Amino acid sequence: MLRAVFGAPNMPKEAAAYHAGILKKVFDLPEFQKFLDENVLDPVYMGTEELGKWIVAQHELHEEVITKAGWVK
């Protein structure tokens, strides 16, 4: 299950970088890593570019799967 933080459409790159930096600091905290471990969550941090590319790839994959399955035309 995807867990991510999304910004507003057309958010300035500086604002996105600021918030991504804060989230990375939180992600790196030992307390947060402990939370991830205790709740059996996959500890993967993706920055704005990497997450965007991952989401596009997942969309394309799911579109292909549901088309092959005949769930959409």
pTM (two decimals): 0.74
pLDDT at res. 62 = 94
What are 9-36's pLDDT values in tens digits? 999 999 999 999 999 999 999 999 999 9
For 64, other C-beta atoms within 10 Å of its C-beta total 10
C-alpha 57/C-alpha 46 separation (Å) is 14
Q: What is the C-alpha to C-alpha distance for residues 46 and 68, in angstroms, rounded to an integer?
A: 29
**In whole numbers, what is the pLDDT of the chain averaged over residues?**
93
Q: What is the band of 2 on the pLDDT scale with cuts at 50, 70, 90?
A: confident
- Say which amino acid occupies 60: E
Local structure of residue 63 (DSSP, 8 states): H
Neighbours of 51 (CB within 10 A): 17
- Tell me, what's the pLDDT at 8? 93
